Copies of this chain bind each other. A is one copy, B any other.
Amino acid sequence: DGNPDAGKAKSAVCAACHGPEGISSMDIYPNLAGQKEGYLVSQLQHFRDGERNNAIMAPMAKPLSDDDIADLAAYYASL
């Protein structure tokens, strides 16, 4: 399972669109705070692997390891 503290440390780039506490400031970007951990893992994997296409998320997710994804998902699910 992911480590929320490690996820928080990796989340700076996410905060630009999804908010510093996982609440987005823009209506077109989803809130992540309190979202289901398994859903967050699957979507980050899908963005990374190209199964879910999004021009903004693709380059963000591309460099993430499975551990990075687990940590980020654990962090946002914990908020």
Contact = CB atoms under 8 A, between A and B. Distances in A.
B36 A30 contact: yes
A37 B34 CA distance: 17
B53 A28 contact: no
Interface string A38-70: 110010000000011100000000000000000
B42 A36 contact: no
A8 to B, nearest CB: 20
Interface string A1-24: 000000000000000000000001
Q: How many copies does the complex hold?
A: 2
A55 B27 CA distance: 26
A51 B31 CA distance: 21
Contact of A34 (B29, B31, B42, B53): B31
